[in-house]
Amino acid sequence: MGLGGDLLWSSVVRRLQEDSGNQVRVSYLPGLTDLLRGKLHDASRSVRNDTIFRENPRIEPQPRTKKSRILITVDRAIISALDC
């Protein structure tokens, strides 16, 4: 997602936080290896580094963990196969 998409999501996050009063969890779409490990987000990526979401008090970013190269390759292969 580019800068425009992030800007759209920032308004959604603001509205969700105002309605619930809690921080909003923002994460990336999980890969197959994340789902098999019981994670509902891409554990190797975090919104903490995104320009729009950095230091935003309304967001509770998911923790980032290191993912091995083989797991990243498996995730990319599955996504490529599904895009065909």
- HSE on the CB side for 66, CA within 13 Å? 2
Give 1's pLDDT tier (boundaries 50, 70, 90). low
62 and 27 Cβ atoms separated by less than 8 Å:
yes
**What spatial distance separates the first Cα and last Cα of the chain, rounded to whole Å?**
20
How does pLDDT run across 5-44, given as a tens digit for each residue? 778 888 899 999 999 999 998 888 899 999 999 988 888 8
**The whole model's pTM is what?**
0.68
Which whole number is the average pLDDT over 49-69? 85
- For the chain, the structural domain boundaries read 3-83
Rounded CA-CA distance 67/72 in Å is 7
How does the average pLDDT of the chain come out, rounded? 87
